[in-house]
Amino acid sequence: MVESNPQPAAGEPGQMRACGHAHGPSGSCIPCDDRERTSMRAAQDYSGYISSDCVAFTTYSGGVLATITLHRIKREGRKGSRKVERHYWRAKSADGRLWYGRNSGPCMCIRMFAYRS
């Protein structure tokens, strides 16, 4: 028997998320991403993720919060000890605010801080 109203497969637009919203074509939850962008405007620091292609600071679901403007990698550690790579990031949000932060690399959680005006 053929279903008259089949459910979208995982990852397809229209599939319901845990938040109760359907997600868009990019896979992100549009209402939740908009709410996060709004709360980021009033914040002095904000946590999110760096995209795998290193071009955006994103929400967990992939919604873009800011565009990466600078990415540097430094190896840190004391002489004789294991060197650790640190990734330093700068970003610019849609409202024009500048942000900075550091983490262990792309696809990882990061806490970004707003530059003081």
Q: Is the dihedral of CA 51, 53, 56, 57 positive or negative?
A: positive
Of the candidates 117, 116, 113, 115, the one whose C-alpha atom is nearest the C-alpha of residue 48 is 113
75: its two tokens? 């190896």
Q: Is position 65 within any domain?
A: yes
Whether residue 54 is contained in a domain is answered as yes
Is position 49 within any domain? yes
Q: Establish if 14 belongs to a structural domain.
A: no
Is 95 among the domain residues? yes
**pLDDT score recorded for residue 113:** 96
pTM of the predicted protein model: 0.71
Q: Is residue 1 in some structural domain?
A: no
Residue 14 has pLDDT above 60, yes or no: no
- Distance from C-alpha of 6 to C-alpha of 72, rounded to nearest angstrom: 47
Which DSSP letter does residue 112 get?
Answer: E
Domain assignment present for residue 52? The answer is yes
Q: Write the DSSP string, 15-62.
A: PBPTTS-B--TTSS-HHHHHHHHHHHHH-SEEEEEE-TTSSEEE-TT-
Q: Which domain holds residue 87?
A: 44-114
Beta-carbon contacts of 64 under 8 Å, excluding residues fewer than 6 positions away, are 33, 51, 56, 57, 58
Number of domains in the chain: 1
Tens digits of residue pLDDT in 49-99: 999 999 999 988 788 899 999 999 998 887 777 888 999 999 999 899 999
Q: Which two tokens stand for residue 40?
A: 């980021």
